Chains A and B, each alone.
Chain A
Amino acid sequence: MIEEFYDSGRIREYIQRGKRIIGTFCSYTPEEIIHAAGLVPVRLFGETVDIMNAYSYIPNWLCYYSKRTFEEGLIGNYDFLDGFVFLTSDDTNQLMYSIWKKNIKVEYSYMLQFPFSVDGTSKNFFTKVLEKFKRSLEDHYSVDITDKDLKDSIEVYNRYRSLLKELYKYRFYTPPKISGSDVLKINLAGYSMLKEEFNDKIEEYINKLSDEEGLPDKPRLYVTGIPIYDPLVFEMIESCGFTIVFDDLCNGSRNFDFEINETISNPIEAIAEGYLLKPTCGTCSRQKSLAIDERLSYINERLKTLNPDGIVIIGDKGCELCAFSQVELRKELAKIKPVLYLEIDFPLAKEQHRTRIEAFLESLS
């Protein structure tokens, strides 16, 4: 069933249907606007492990995600892209926008200004930024994006987010009805699908899931940290005897645990507000509060409800957000639950990680 979500030919099929594909890189990207323009937003994963070309352009100590996506761009694996949209979400993304623009040939590229601080001033500004982005898509693709188009896309994406929330709940059962690895796979598949198609599929899947028997009961983990675009990481953790009952990764719950207010009359303003207020990645925070505290309070709330046996923080030396926050996260979370910090890079040093995960499992018993 999970396999049904995966269809490597889907993107080509969209192109055959006359759709254009826009690559995105960050969970703060307001895909609703791209979708409303009749385009297909696709989050890029960077599947290649061998970096052969990228280091002629960028330092080799950047995050695995930027290296892998760029390498794929260089070797032509993204030749299906008509364009890409970056956000100023961190130094790496700011840098990579210029590097991509210069070296990966596409028809359309755009950098969205993200204001980081949540207050009235930044909300007004972000609304204007998104209005300009909408105009840029309209001009480039000769389309008219009406308020109705935007509202329809908001509805599709709100449904997408609430279905993913629903799917995540099946991990909370005792025993869980679905593993963390399977949820991640579905989640990843959704990134390259038109959300209306994904929504129908996942709804059907959830209906079936409710009748399924539970999985064998195993110690339960909460996972946080860097974005994971490779199911191998979750499979490795779960194969050591755990079930991952929740993850708040950038491509996990932080991607869907919010909604756009459909009652706000200006849909662009609604989108701006929705994305500014979504669970923080450690970038955005309310003025006078700290992003790390906002993240911790998000995690704590979920820990209270889920009561997992332990927490795994997945890190990447090259990810600046992780590099800055991981010490405080480790320290604070260890006050609540046992914590394992797993620093990964690719190719994955599986055996080495397995030893640590198994030792962690033992320490819990």
Chain B
Amino acid sequence: MQKQKINLLGFGKLFGPTYKRHLERQNELLEKKRPCGWFFGYHPSELNYVFDIVNIFPEQYSAYCASRGDSPRMIDDYYSMGYGPFLCDYFKCSVAAIDKPELATKPLMPRPDFTVDHHSICFGHRDMAEIHARMYGVKRYSLAFPYIRKEDIGSFDDITKITEWMDKDLLEYTIQVLRDFVTFLEEVTGEDFDDDKFKSVMKVSEETSRYFIEIFKLFMSKPTPGSQIDLANYPFIGFFVHGSKYGLDYVKNCYELIKERVNKKEGVVPEEKFRLMTHGIMPWHTLSLYNYLEESGATFPLNPYAHCSAVLHDSTKPFESLARRVSTFCNVEHELMLDALIKKAKDADLDGAILFENTGCRIVSGVMRPIKKALYEELGIPSLIVEAPQCDLRAMPPERMKTQFDAFIESLR
């Protein structure tokens, strides 16, 4: 098969300076002895910018370890601690980084003063925050946001996350959980909540969310304008640094690049042969796997996993808006999720789907078979499910994955 040349949008190049700004902020705050929190899941990151908290993300750190090739030996250490195979790789890597820092990718995460969990994406976040807090002997704060069921919102849009309605009690509760968390942060910092600062951070957040949404919509253009490699940093911006100026600058610049590409009707490869959806956590150890498919003309206009990063904000109602965003849509009742996903799959005019099942992650893995079934039954679209833990390439060596991809692409012809 003739390999095509991939024309990246260049989001990755923009990310370097963005990440540098993030680290500079962290270092400055650490020097000033600001409190350091380890955050798990889709926490209200905006509040870190209001309170000048050093924000550390063990999941992102674990993905980084995988991309640097260090995760296998860290995962071995995790097993030697007595843990079993069926927990997610993010826990495996982050717990090993505490247990044996000498094995872990540098720079290490700074020691936390507290951990924060949020378990509406997954319950694992709660356990991780708890175990990490226990290992360091620090406080754990639990953000008990609700799980979204069909009767709570009716339906939602996969990109904007605009809901048909939202149950009043659920919304009020989530806002109260956020307000209680503000009280906790006031205790941690010894400072009062700065309402004006909050409003301005939320403005940044709203603008960021609007760019996110436009970018994901443009990504669905024909031909697909970008590569999955371009999107690889989106969870970082959307999950962890939403509300930061550098996050906003990043998406703004990305938007300019993709808009220009779409206006010119250019694709990521010269000849798009198949349009695929991909879902599931990216195999951080070998992101080039996406390129392997793209080179063969199979592009990815739709990635609902990356879409988790986008939720339309309304900064005129800052707490309500934040409450809607943290009522995460990454893990909702399947009926809701499948409705939203099928609509987008139709719009994207797909030929197939490649779904990553991340062993140990019940949320992501459990949803892949229902998605496969729904895509086939409702749109006649075939899917390939690949078992691929996100940080451990030994469980599914890339060469084996490629063989599966080849067979799948062949079946689409």
Contacts and interface: CB of A to CB of B under 8 A. Distances in A.
B381 interface: no
Nearest to B121: A91
Interface residues of B, number: 47
A305 interface: no
B165 interface: no
A317 B333 contact: no
B81 A58 contact: no
Contacts of B142: 116-117, 285, 287
Contacts of A94: 123, 147, 331, 363
Given A116-B126, A290-B134, A323-B84, A59 B365 contact: yes
Interface stretch (A13-21, A257-265, A267-275, A325-333): A325-333
A167 B267 CA distance: 72
Interface in A233-287: 282-283, 285, 287
A285 B84 CA distance: 24
A91 B363 contact: yes
Nearest to A319: B86
A324 B119 CA distance: 14
Contact of A318 (B86, B123, B170): B86
Max chain A CB contacts within 10 Å: which of B128, B144, B170, B180?
B144
A111 interface: yes
A14 to B, nearest CB: 28
Interface residues of A, number: 52
Contact of B144 (A62, A116, A320): A116
A115 B143 CA distance: 9
Contacts of A122: 144
A292 B134 contact: yes
Contacts of A125: 146, 169, 173, 176
Contacts of B360: 61
A56 interface: yes
A328 B363 CA distance: 24
Interface in A312-365: 315, 317-318, 320-321, 323-328, 330, 343
B324 to A, nearest CB: 16
Interface of B: 81-87, 91, 119, 122-124, 126-128, 130-131, 133-134, 139-142, 144, 146-147, 149, 169-170, 173, 176-177, 180, 331, 333-335, 357, 359-360, 362-363, 365-367, 369-370
Closest 10 CB pairs of A and B: A98-B334, A324-B127, A95-B366, A91-B362, A117-B144, A125-B173, A88-B147, A91-B123, A317-B84, A327-B82
